[in-house]
Chains A and B, each alone.
Chain A
Amino acid sequence: MTRYLIKRVAQAVAVLLAISATAFGLFYAAPSDPALIACGPKCTSAQLAAVRTSMGLDQPIVSQFTDYVGGIVTGRTIADVDGTPIPCPAPCLGYSYSLHQPVLAAIEDRLPVTVSIAVGALAVILVLGVGSGLAAALRRGRATDRLLSGFNLLGASVQIYFLGYVLQLLLVYSTGLFAPPRYVPFTTQPAQWALGLLLPWLVLGFVNAAVYARLTRSQMLETMHHGYVRTARAKGLGTLRTHLKYTARGAAGPLVQLLGLEVGALLGGAFITETVFGLGGVGKLAVDAVNGNDLPTVVGTVLLAAFFVVVFVAVADLVVAWLDPRVRFA
């Protein structure tokens, strides 16, 4: 297991480095003048020169990249448009010239919103997706199965940017059944926190649940026919207990991997959900940064999102290795 762990972590670090190099190269090297974009249209030529030096654009691209990566590890000091030095402690993801704060600080302000959305949506995905997949597999071919697959197909086909508005109109605006979507910190008002995010959770969870329902169902049905499941049944174990205890464990591998990817993606920002429900999370920050040509923030959010995906995919792999000895010793 230790060997597997080391191998997997090394792989994750390599993937992250490759992603940061690509993102950095594309966003800093490709546009004609990142300094002009960062500085904005009302920038004087002196300010432009200052920004260019501050962004390190007079340096070769390789040393710009090593500076950036070095900043992530050790932190560094970056000069603002007017030349004020801004300390950017590790892990420094750069400095946003339009928000006038380090990118990480901007992300930290908004991360609680994104994490809150992710946690609730994940719960809905688990209950609705995995739960209905289990139910459908156990009642295969019956009315329950067909009803659930129809419901999930609808979820797979409907779009958040349509369903979200329709539900807001019907459930919030017209009837007042749901509280208007908003974010209040969990630590101060847990009840309001849950009420304000309930609708975004349900919509985001419903739309994403279909994949899990389908995968759970097919995995369960496939594993059910293995010899060890039959042995458990033959020894007199009840249907439900056999399937939950033995079949589910054998079937869980691909599900765990997909969930890992999902958690990582959700933490990187739910762009559309945040936009539709007007919640100011990391996704909204990223979209606003793109629309406002705020390159340092764009690169920072891309890296953060990639970081979450890589970490949670690796965690999922470890869980799979723990569940399934065949993976561990392969």
Chain B
Amino acid sequence: MAAVSVAHAFRRDRFGIVSLGVVGFFLLLSAAAPLVAALYGKNPTEHYGQNETGLLSPEGLPLLPNGGVSAQHWFGIEPGLGRDVLTQLLYGMRTSLLIALASAAVVAVIGVVVGVTVGYLSALVDRAFTFVCNVLLAFPALLFLITLGPVIQTRFVGPGEDEPAWMQFAVLILVFSAFGWVPLAMVLRTVVRSLREREFVEAARALGASRRHIVFRELLPNVWAPVLVHLTLAVPAMVTTEAALSFLGVGINEPIPDWGRMISRGSDVFYDDPTYMVFPGASLLVFVLAFNLLGDAVRDALDPHTVR
């Protein structure tokens, strides 16, 4: 389908436009996090509550109502350590998005290459592929994600050492990619299996084109629509899984800001200071909602057959 008509269909979708705006706003904020933090005059690591008097009670709870929301700290301060919530949220969003987008990129490459190739190749390859998919789908993915981090850590990091920041990111991106490519490849396999019977592929074959040419030049350009749909829905799923892992204590460690860990910390003090959990929780909800709406809008715009 022509890109123009897709853009046209998308523009008519009010929810799609609004959600695109919200997602764009989040992306912009996380990209410009250092700039915003500089303008706002706070950073996510300084323990304001401990360094300045009048912010935290001796028990470590914010003295001001609503989690210490004030002109100084717009979203309040963290109980205990007394860090600024707004900057933590901003930088935490960078953590989530970096992991989700990097994983999505890897998933796209592996999923497309495997899906398109398997869809085009012989029945034997297809069987092997189906078996691998069955194994990976039956894997308790979340439990596996939970367990894999510490295992990799003990393998590469000596006892007593801290895991370097890049390795925490790399481990999460690696495990998300290892499971994430399967559904995409399965979708593409089905798409390609119907595409390969079409006239243009037959024509290329009749002209003596190599397998490589057919896969990469004829088939690949025709699968971008399902890939785009899959990725817009995969990114919020990865963001929430990453937050879930951090919530369970096996994601990104201190001092890197992270939404899931903020929620986890918030859950410890939830009945005394609910505000601290509401900010990351509500941000996550709005972000995921907007991304899901965007994914729906993209699918509706790309697929004229969607039953509405």
Contact = CB atoms under 8 A, between A and B. Distances in A.
Interface of A: 11, 14-16, 18-19, 22-23, 26-27, 30-32, 37, 141, 153-154, 156-159, 161-162, 165-166, 168-169, 173, 218, 221-222, 261, 264-265, 268-269, 271-272, 275-276, 286-287, 290-291, 293, 298, 301-302, 305-306, 309-310, 313
Nearest to A170: B274
B217 to A, nearest CB: 33
20 contacts: A19-B138, A19-B139, A27-B151, A31-B154, A32-B154, A159-B240, A159-B243, A159-B244, A159-B285, A161-B260, A165-B267, A165-B277, A271-B142, A275-B248, A287-B250, A290-B150, A306-B138, A306-B139, A309-B137, A309-B140
B143 interface: yes
Interface residues of B, number: 46
B152 interface: yes
B147 interface: yes
A24 B88 CA distance: 38
B292 A157 contact: yes
B281 interface: yes
B14 interface: no
A291 B143 CA distance: 12
A228 B271 CA distance: 57
Given A222-B307, A286-B146, A11 B134 contact: yes
Interface of B: 131, 134-135, 137-140, 142-144, 146-148, 150-152, 154-155, 236, 240, 243-244, 247-250, 260, 263-264, 266-267, 270-271, 274, 277-278, 281-282, 284-285, 288-289, 292-293, 307-308
Contact of A153 (B144, B250, B263, B293): B293
B138 A309 contact: yes
B289 A157 contact: yes
Nearest to B263: A161
Contacts of B139: 19, 22, 306, 309
Nearest to B236: A157
Nearest to A308: B140
B285 A31 contact: no
A157 B285 contact: yes
Given A169-B270, A169-B271, A306-B140, A221 B135 contact: no
Contacts of B236: 157
Contact of B138 (A26, A276, A298, A310): A310
A269 to B, nearest CB: 7
B267 A30 contact: no
Contacts of A26: 148, 151
B187 to A, nearest CB: 14
Contacts of B293: 153
B147 A27 contact: yes
B135 A162 contact: no
A153 B286 CA distance: 12
